[in-house]
Chains A and B, each alone.
Chain A
Amino acid sequence: MSEKRIDEPTGTSTVGHEWDGIEELDTPLPRWWLLTFYACIVFSIGYVVVYPAIPMVHGATAGLWGWTSRGTLTTEMRAEQAKHATIKAALLATPLDAIDGDAHLRHEAIEGGKAAFRIHCTTCHGAGAAGGKGYPNLNDDDWLWGGDVDAIHATIAHGVRQSADTASRMSQMPAFGSTGILKPAEVQDVVSYVRSISKQDAPDAASARGATLFTANCAVCHGPDGKGNRTLGAPNLSDSIWLYGGDRASLTETVTNAHYGQMPNWGAQLDPVTVKMLAVYVHSLGGGEKAAAPAPAPVAPAAK
């Protein structure tokens, strides 16, 4: 411990410590630094008063300005919603089939639908709407309940097999095998017949037996030639698209136990505009059908 003294070369006092002959200068903090430091203290007092700062048992003190990050989010979300208000009102007022004729409205509906699809639909149908086993591919031209925009809208709004919604898409295929309506061998015959009408296998004796069973048990819903019935949600069995698989094992499983896939009735959860936009978006994915039969001549779309 040495005494405090004035260091000669710098003219500054030492702090009074000495370690092996090395002393420390008591250089004062720079004035600008001190002033900034005091300014920060003053600022922090103001900050604590106007902003939420001190942790309490249930959240922090509110602060004079009542600012919250959640409040900011709400305001920003509201501003964002307000931006869409005009187009949403227009979409709400326009009938579904008229949206197709309005290039601007259609574009907005597709973009809005795409966004909503990512949030609500991709869980089952996939990001590209390509579906998977048990979840229909929405890009193709095969529709269980109809592929025009109104039919798609109805399916989205009321869902599939939602007993709470009276307008929901309801169909119930009997579990032919497990309930004993058909014996296992008969199930195999029916499967052979289905594989023959979908041109996966050549007709043989089993499929001929299956044809009789099909007419008696299946044709009432799937039609005499297996082309399906959209009113009943009965899939077309003669095409190349299979929701639960078209191989023998999958078909056997389907005929034996049946499948009862479900989809939420989104009309109960989402606002009408979102459901409408979703319908237009799904319809635009490439497999959408025209409600009216005659197709217009190919014309170039208008520039956006």
Chain B
Amino acid sequence: MTASRKMFRLSAALLAGSALSFLTAAPAMAQGKAGFEDPNNWPEYHRTSNAWRFSPLNQITRDNVKKLKVAWIHQPGNITHGLQSTPIVIDGVMYTISANNNVWAIDAATGKTLWNYAPKLDKIVEQVFYGAASRGVTVGRGKVFVGTLDGRFIALDQKTGKELWSTQLTAPKTQYGALFSAPPQLAGNILFGGTTGGDQPISGKIYAVNADTGKPAWTFDVIKNDPKSWPGDSGKVGGGSAWMPGTYDAKTDTIYIGTSNAAPDYYNYDRKGDNLYTASLLAIEGKTGKLKWHRQEVPNDSWDYDSAYEALIVQKDGKDVIVHLNKGGFVFVMDKKDGALENVWQFSENVNWVKGINPKTGALIDPVYPEVDKVKTFCPNLLGARSWNHGAYNPGTGLWYSHAMEVCNEVVAGKDDPDNLKAVSALSLGIESIKLVPPPSGKPHGRLDARDPLTGKLKWSIKYDLPPLSSVLTTAGGLVFTGDMEGKILGYDAETGKELWSFNSGSGLRGGPVSYSVKGKQYIVFPTGLGSHAPGFLAGAFPQIKDLPGGAAIIAFTLE
């Protein structure tokens, strides 16, 4: 199948204005600046704590990107749910994870395996809904940290892969298989992370341990103990997990982490209240787990609109602001210090669950709620304005690059049948039925948008037949990299969106591409292999997905 990709809204004036200044933003000039630290490595999930997914390396440029060649391919062997990881690279060693929590240390210049660690997992992992996959590992303090499918944090020796400690944090049997699909993150000597379960009848938590000993440090209850927010016992089954990695600001000892939707997803009859702290961005003190501030983006969420995505930090009028995409199709811009709202702008083309969101107060304008016995169409669909595949920000262009999808769903709300909630894998969607449908604006599709992160002003956009599920990488070489669901790896001009390079990897991309340098040579690396439940669900709107092959291969590219 050939995906049609149409370039549109190319602004010639903007292009001419900023193209020349771009390459001057080289690492040497910008040393010490936020986003340019440790340029040769990819030391954490989003590379830097501002969640830019920006590499300051500029050996690979618009002019020579066509010369990229495969340097090495690493195959873990098990393709279940593909590769969803963002690899970590430190001093020439890549640390990554594949199906069933297999952890790998790989020579980042050759692709040779240095060590492999396969944990002995509880049998319950065969029953969980979010099986097999993990989004990465965290490296620091001489250790590699893993969040497991059976609800543990594990620390490995960074040099040998030998297990140092393992701490059981969740009770998978009674918490519907609550597991760590995202890598736990470091906040000084604290290691923290949340679980899956936003769509399950649990009471979500964020767990923290001492990173050196594994000893539990604190637990944060995402479900606020407040009967106004959660009438009756609704909070006990209110969902509210924090299933994506947070970020950490060491200067202020602040963790920024987003939370999931409230459960049951579409049936809100028993939880009339704002349902704090679901669908919120939280600022938590790393040392204590104390809440500093929160911004709830979707009060009484009734559409499965998580706020779990990355907290991008950029400057506005000389101060740091957080730019935060919500699944409901809006981007919230808020003061990093206290969460005060700076702006809210619409990201999705098709939004109908509200007329809008007040950009000054954050109030939902005329929300339309799901109802029992009524078919209602909601845009975006339950997978969101975008899936969890992260965007990237390039300080050279000042643009935020993010994928998007335009798909809606028809929903009839319904009380969950207790009979159906017996399995560990059971979801609490609160529906009678659900169906993916095309948006009012036409065919369902995906996009890569290049936008001003503060206002949403569109610089360029690329349309795809199938919504890409890969995270985005941008580099100081003036490039944007991503991959589509069919396995095509793509390199674009960061200024114009012009496709400059592509490579057919054979299976779709779902992980996070990264860039790093070893012995003076820049590499661009793509985890490939289609996986996660999202493609399966999207097959309802995109029948072509049924024919797409699975896979699992990390492919590294470099110049000749």
Q: Do A and B belong to a common assembly?
A: no
